[in-house]
């Protein structure tokens, strides 16, 4: 009683106390209470207590539902009977409400049924028990109907902590009781006020893979009631849910299954088709129209294979889906978009037509089908293109509404791409060009918003750019000649710039492309000076133009440099942001790549000049001023160097540049090594210099590595490890660098392992852990001859064992990848020779590694990491065969049988034995996933398993090899 009163007081405080702190304390106490064993009895008592208020009833029904779902195994086996009786009594008590309470109790009963085998309910299962209860107590039928509705839904509810095997049995039990359930629902049809509830329950049962033949369902009273209720004012929503489930059901499975369902399809389709007129009926409620549109969309999605044949009957559905696409409300029209995409995939993929014999027959059938849908896709282009037009009040829209408008444009662009895939880009372009011409003709009539239709048409033309052939000579020259004549309104100019960029490949191949480029680059310069958005679009377009037309532009470098200098220096009227200026750096870098080496060297110097000058000034001002600068004042320039080194594909010229720049880079390394953002930026620039220059870097690479090796010991910046990874990738196999690289990796790894001595250090320094083990994996791949025999290898394996269970995703994945790379070393061409070294390190630690991996699998790491842990465990098993299975047996034998049964353990160990015997590991993941699920099924079990395996206690002292 005292605890019941405390619960009531806490609920009262939670809902009514004026002090936020008190409410938070009450909430925390109630959550903790729900996890206790006492919560069962207290929640049950308060639900039976006539004096409990609504807040108490809702909380206690939720508590009881959660306890059954998550903690049923806390109860002794003899508690099932009394619990079922109590829940049944409550179901009857609340059969007329409150609805929230009744629903929670229904879910609790359904969850109980998931745990308890059918025979324990008496008369072979819960559905028969429910039928008997309804026959004995007809006055409680509405409450029992809700239970009948939620029962099949709980099959797929993974909040219920049942074992996987029991969940599968429950699904089979329900499917075997399907006829009983449908007979109960059929009997309830005679009660008029229950029809909606009956149809909702029927829809719920249809979601089970029930296997009832279409010929049986076609004449079933429940199906006939649903079909006849589609026009009912009160039952249409429930009827639509039923028909929707039936549509999905008839389409599930193979083509032969669909043939079996044909009797049902033949009665559904005409009934749904009869609703087509409602799509344009303005007197219809919008929700009703939405429900009808959903049925057409479901038919389209489910029967797309049949529709793709292009038969007269299928074209009726296609025409109805065009009506859906034309609906003024976007959220209704967009229901059809998935169908148009699925149809396009079938029409354009060659393997869709393979059954038609030889190549000529396949091609003829593909063409016949595509021709059948040409008119439909042409109509679709016209129907959707207007939806991308900016609303007149766009500037006044909320941030959320603007985001929604952008998403609409992206979705329409995808539909246009689907249309272009079927019609061909050139044919689609012609339709859109007519819309552009109409829109441009309106531009001069003085209307305030005349730019919007032109912008919409251009947006659509840009969307299909990848599908328009680069030799198209009829429409594109006219589009390009129109662009300079359009008003320079900011949003329109932004789209004009993006369109120019999108057709850069076409401009490169067009016979008069060079003559067009001058006026188009003028437009891009206007874009850079108009608004931040148009400047971003212009910078991106400039990059695409320079990438694809680089050969044409080699002779015009002076003009390009003029634009580049204005954008990078920030002088003049350009509004190009620092981030967008990188597009211009990339653009000039790609043009310079086309120059002959001697010219490229001079051009690269000119490219670097406006970037190096501010850095030189910053360094020359002395250490004190350099240290006071914000990271961004330096990184804005260093990031440009990263782009230059990445995209100027002249290795000697870049090596030359980095050698000249090294004194400035060294000064920044020396004075700003404490600043992680500047170091990341500088290391990224050095990484690209190494990647592009390779062995031309000569002495500079030695100076660079010496620098980061010394600074790492002092400042522990993870990016120093990241830069070293790139060096290992490029120089790892170069025997002339062996001594230098061996010293580098030993120094870096010894220092890192001295930092990461416990799980708390891994948690505090996850970036160091991540980059350390990425570097270690690189060493295994690119210089195993330096890494495997070194003294740091066993230290790193010990270090990895400490850190496997770190919760940081990237760090944990890098550690697991490192371990699987060790186990999979035989996959590399020269890996065999390192097996003795590997074994001497791994075998003494094998039992502990296995146990930590099994602990990670069963709860020490989040379930999102399951795939990576599974792969690592299977790699270990594949590498060490029967020995690994012995290690696994030792580990799982520690887990009490109250948490995992003998059967579940043996299934898990069999999967490992199969992996040890050489089975394909992809086929073995399911038993391992089920072991993970069993051990995580609720908090109590997870704590028992982790308490038994104790992964963190296994790696406190290094193992001597």
pLDDT tens track for 727-782: 999 999 888 888 989 999 999 999 999 999 999 999 999 999 999 999 999 999 99
Q: How far is CA 576 from CA 501, 518, 562, in A?
A: 16, 20, 14
Nearest in space to 435 (alpha carbons), one of 471, 464, 395, 472: 464
The verdict on 818 and 853 lying in the same domain is: no
pLDDT tens for 916-934 read 998 888 888 999 999 999 9
Residue that has been written with the tokens 């995580």 in this structure? 936
Spatial distance between the Cα atoms of 233 and 287, rounded to a whole number of angstroms: 11
- If one compares 811 and 393, the residue with the highest pLDDT of the two is 811
Whether the predicted pLDDT of 444 surpasses 90: no
Cβ atoms of 639 and 682 closer than 8 Å: no
The stretch 425-433 carries a mean pLDDT of 97
pLDDT the model gives residue 208: 87
Question: Which residues make Cβ contacts (< 8 Å) with residue 335, sequence separation at least 6?
Answer: 290, 293, 294, 296, 297, 324
822 within a domain of the structure (yes/no): yes
Question: Which residues make Cβ contacts (< 8 Å) with residue 90, sequence separation at least 6?
Answer: 47, 48, 61, 105
pTM of the model as a whole: 0.88
pLDDT the model gives residue 448: 58
The verdict on 868 and 772 lying in the same domain is: no
Mark which of 772, 807, 833 sits at the end of a domain.
833
Spatial distance between the Cα atoms of 548 and 540, rounded to a whole number of angstroms: 13
The verdict on 713 and 821 lying in the same domain is: yes
Tally of CB atoms within 10 A around 9: 12
| CA 300 and chain centroid, separation | 26
99 within a domain of the structure (yes/no): no
708 within a domain of the structure (yes/no): yes
372 within a domain of the structure (yes/no): no
pLDDT tens for 101-123 read 999 999 999 999 999 998 888 76
Q: How far is CA 948 from CA 352, 626, 891, 892, in A?
A: 54, 55, 9, 9
Q: Is 469 left (phi over 0), alpha (psi -120 to 50) or beta?
A: beta
Question: Which residues make Cβ contacts (< 8 Å) with residue 320, sequence separation at least 6?
Answer: 273, 276, 279, 296
Q: How far is CA 460 from CA 382, 426, 433, 464, 954, in A?
A: 11, 13, 9, 7, 61
Query: Where is average pLDDT lowest: 565-574, 855-864, 894-903?
Result: 565-574
Best-predicted range by mean pLDDT (153-167, 281-295, 525-539, 571-585): 525-539
pLDDT the model gives residue 961: 41
pLDDT the model gives residue 123: 66
pLDDT the model gives residue 297: 97
- Domain of residue 807, residue span: 698-833
Q: How confident is the model at residue 236 (pLDDT cuts 50, 70, 90)?
A: confident
Q: How far is CA 643 from CA 579, 600, 636, 647, 650, in A?
A: 11, 16, 11, 6, 13
204 within a domain of the structure (yes/no): no
pLDDT the model gives residue 763: 97
Cβ atoms of 30 and 70 closer than 8 Å: no
pLDDT the model gives residue 212: 84
Whether the predicted pLDDT of 75 surpasses 70: yes
pLDDT tens for 392-407 read 889 899 999 999 999 9
The verdict on 915 and 798 lying in the same domain is: no
633-661 as b/e: b if 16+ CB within 10 A: ebbbbbbbbbbbbbbbebbebbbbbbbeb
Domain count, the chain: 2
Spatial distance between the Cα atoms of 747 and 792, rounded to a whole number of angstroms: 9
| CA 384 and chain centroid, separation | 27
823 within a domain of the structure (yes/no): yes
The verdict on 786 and 878 lying in the same domain is: no
Nearest in space to 393 (alpha carbons), one of 459, 458, 449: 449
Mark which of 813, 833, 853 sits at the end of a domain.
833
The verdict on 715 and 789 lying in the same domain is: yes
Tally of CB atoms within 10 A around 831: 17
| CA 916 and chain centroid, separation | 33
Cβ atoms of 214 and 250 closer than 8 Å: yes
Spatial distance between the Cα atoms of 171 and 157, rounded to a whole number of angstroms: 12
Query: What is the percentage of the chain residues whose pLDDT exceeds 90?
Result: 82
Cβ atoms of 545 and 520 closer than 8 Å: yes
Q: To the nearest whole number, what is the mean pLDDT of the chain?
A: 93
The verdict on 823 and 729 lying in the same domain is: yes
Whether the predicted pLDDT of 329 surpasses 80: yes
The verdict on 857 and 815 lying in the same domain is: no
Whether the predicted pLDDT of 234 surpasses 80: no
pLDDT the model gives residue 955: 60
pLDDT the model gives residue 331: 93
Cβ atoms of 143 and 94 closer than 8 Å: yes
The verdict on 825 and 716 lying in the same domain is: yes
Mark which of 803, 833, 863 sits at the end of a domain.
833
pLDDT tens for 836-871 read 999 999 999 999 999 999 999 999 999 999 999 999
Give me the helices (H) in 732-791, please. 738-755, 759-764, 766-782, 784-787
The verdict on 739 and 817 lying in the same domain is: yes
pLDDT the model gives residue 960: 47
The verdict on 797 and 891 lying in the same domain is: no
Residue 305 host element (H or E): helix 304-307
Whether the predicted pLDDT of 260 surpasses 90: no
751 within a domain of the structure (yes/no): yes
Spatial distance between the Cα atoms of 682 and 467, rounded to a whole number of angstroms: 40
943 within a domain of the structure (yes/no): yes
The verdict on 739 and 789 lying in the same domain is: yes
Spatial distance between the Cα atoms of 731 and 586, rounded to a whole number of angstroms: 26
Spatial distance between the Cα atoms of 677 and 876, rounded to a whole number of angstroms: 38
Whether the predicted pLDDT of 211 surpasses 80: no
Spatial distance between the Cα atoms of 221 and 186, rounded to a whole number of angstroms: 7
| CA 532 and chain centroid, separation | 30
Whether the predicted pLDDT of 321 surpasses 60: yes
pLDDT the model gives residue 829: 76
pLDDT the model gives residue 956: 52
Cβ atoms of 852 and 951 closer than 8 Å: yes
Burial of 364 (C-beta count, 10 Å sphere; 0-12/13-18/19+): middle
Give the tokens for residue 795: 């230290």
**Reduced 3-state DSSP string for 320-355:** HHHHHHCCCCHHHHHHHHHHHHHHHHHHHCHHHHHH
């Amino acid at each position: 009683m005292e605890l019941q009163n405390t619960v009531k007081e806490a609920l009262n405080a939670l809902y009514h106390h004026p002090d936020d702190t008190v409410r938070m304390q009450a909430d925390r106490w109630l959550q903790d209470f729900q996890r206790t064993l006492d919560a069962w009895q207290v929640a049950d008592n308060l639900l039976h207590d006539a004096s409990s208020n609504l807040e108490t009833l809702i909380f206690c029904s939720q508590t009881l539902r959660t306890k059954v779902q998550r903690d049923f195994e806390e109860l002794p086996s003899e508690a099932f009977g009394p619990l079922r009786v109590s829940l049944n009594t409550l179901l009857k008590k609340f059969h007329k409400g409150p609805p929230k309470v009744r629903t929670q109790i229904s879910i609790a009963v359904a969850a109980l049924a998931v745990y308890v085998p059918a025979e324990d309910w008496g008369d072979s299962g819960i559905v028969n028990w429910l039928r008997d209860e309804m026959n004995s107590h007809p006055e409680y039928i509405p409450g029992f109907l809700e239970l009948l509705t939620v029962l099949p839904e709980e099959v797929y509810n993974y909040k219920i902590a049942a074992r996987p095997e029991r969940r599968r049995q429950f699904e089979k039990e329900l499917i075997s009781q399907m006829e009983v359930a449908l007979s109960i629902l059929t009997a309830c049809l005679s009660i008029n006020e229950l029809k909606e509830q009956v149809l909702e329950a029927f829809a719920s049962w249809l979601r089970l893979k029930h296997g009832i033949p279409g010929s049986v369902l076609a004449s079933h009273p429940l199906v006939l009631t649903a079909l006849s209720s589609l026009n009912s004012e009160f039952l249409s929503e429930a009827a639509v849910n039923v028909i929707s489930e039936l549509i999905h059901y008839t389409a599930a499975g193979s083509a032969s299954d669909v043939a079996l369902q044909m009797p049902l399809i033949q009665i559904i389709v005409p009934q749904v088709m009869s609703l087509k007129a409602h799509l344009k009926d303005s007197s219809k409620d919008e929700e009703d129209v939405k429900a009808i549109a959903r049925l057409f969309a479901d038919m389209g999605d489910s029967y797309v294979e049949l529709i793709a044949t292009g038969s007269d009957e299928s074209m009726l559905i296609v025409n109805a889906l065009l009506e859906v696409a034309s609906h003024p409300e976007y959220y209704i029209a967009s229901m059809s978009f998935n169908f148009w995409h699925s149809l396009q995939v079938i029409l354009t993929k060659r393997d869709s037509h393979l059954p038609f014999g030889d190549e000529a027959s396949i091609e003829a059938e593909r063409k016949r089908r595509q021709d059948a849908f040409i008119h439909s896709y042409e109509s679709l282009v016209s129907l959707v293109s207007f939806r991308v037009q900016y609303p007149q009040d766009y500037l006044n829209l909320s941030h959320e509404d603007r985001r929604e408008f952008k998403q609409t444009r992206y979705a329409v662009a995808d539909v246009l791409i689907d249309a272009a895939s079927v019609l061909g880009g050139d044919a689609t372009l012609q339709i859109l060009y007519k819309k552009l011409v109409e829109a441009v003709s309106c531009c001069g009539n003085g209307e305030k918003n005349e730019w919007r239709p032109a912008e919409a048409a251009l947006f659509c033309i840009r969307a299909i750019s990848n599908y328009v052939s680069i030799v198209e000579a009829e429409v594109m020259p006219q589009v390009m000649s129109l662009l300079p004549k359009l008003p320079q309104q900011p949003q329109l100019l932004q789209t004009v710039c993006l369109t120019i960029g999108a057709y850069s490949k076409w401009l490169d191949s067009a016979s008069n492309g060079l003559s067009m480029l001058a006026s188009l680059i003028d437009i891009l310069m206007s874009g850079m000076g108009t608004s931040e958005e148009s400047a971003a679009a212009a910078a991106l377009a400039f990059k695409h133009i320079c990438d694809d037309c680089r050969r044409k532009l080699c002779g015009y470098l002076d003009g390009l440099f003029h634009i580049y200098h204005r954008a990078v220096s920030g002088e003049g009227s350009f509004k190009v942001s620092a981030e967008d200026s990188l597009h211009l750096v990339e653009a000039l870098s790609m043009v310079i790549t086309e120059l002959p080496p001697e010219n490229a060297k001079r051009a690269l110097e000119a490219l670097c000049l406006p970037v190096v000058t501010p850095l030189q000034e910053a360094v020359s001002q002395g250490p004190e001023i350099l240290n006071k600068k914000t990271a961004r004042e330096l990184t804005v320039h260093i990031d440009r160097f990263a782009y230059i080194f990445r995209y100027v594909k002249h290795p000697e010229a870049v090596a030359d540049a980095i050698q000249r720049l090294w004194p400035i880079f060294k000064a920044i390394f020396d004075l700003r090594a404490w600043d992680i953002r500047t170091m990341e930026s500088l290391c990224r620039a050095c990484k690209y210099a190494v990647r592009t220059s390779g062995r031309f870097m000569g002495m500079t690479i030695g100076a660079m590595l010496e620098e980061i090796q010394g600074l790492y010991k002092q400042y522990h910046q993870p990016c120093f490890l990241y830069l070293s990874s790139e060096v290992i990738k490029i120089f790892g196999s170069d025997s002339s660098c062996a001594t230098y690289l061996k010293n580098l990796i030993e120094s870096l790894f010894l220092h890192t392992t001295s930092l990461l001595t416990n799980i708390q250090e891994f948690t505090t320094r996850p970036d160091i852990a991540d980059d350390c083990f990425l570097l270690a994996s690189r060493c295994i791949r690119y210089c195993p001859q330096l890494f495997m025999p070194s003294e740091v290898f066993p230290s790193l394996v010990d270090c990895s064992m400490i850190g496997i269970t770190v919760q940081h995703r990237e760090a944990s994945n890098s550690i697991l990848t490192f371990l699987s790379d060790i186990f999979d070393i035989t996959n590399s061409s020269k890996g065999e020779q390192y097996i003795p070294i590997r074994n001497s390190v791994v075998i003494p630690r094998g039992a502990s590694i296995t146990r930590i991996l099994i602990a990670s699998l069963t709860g020490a790491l989040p379930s999102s990491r399951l795939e990576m842990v599974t792969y690592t465990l299977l790699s270990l098993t594949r590498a060490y065969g029967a020995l690994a299975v012995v290690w696994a047996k030792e580990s799982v034998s520690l887990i009490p049988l109250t948490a995992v049964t003998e059967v579940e353990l043996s299934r898990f160990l069999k999967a490992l034995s199969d992996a040890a015997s050489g089975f394909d590991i992809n086929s073995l993941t399911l038993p391992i996933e089920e072991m993970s699920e069993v051990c995580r099924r609720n908090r109590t079990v997870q704590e028992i398993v982790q308490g038994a395996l104790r992964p963190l206690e296994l790696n406190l002292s290094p193992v001597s090899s």
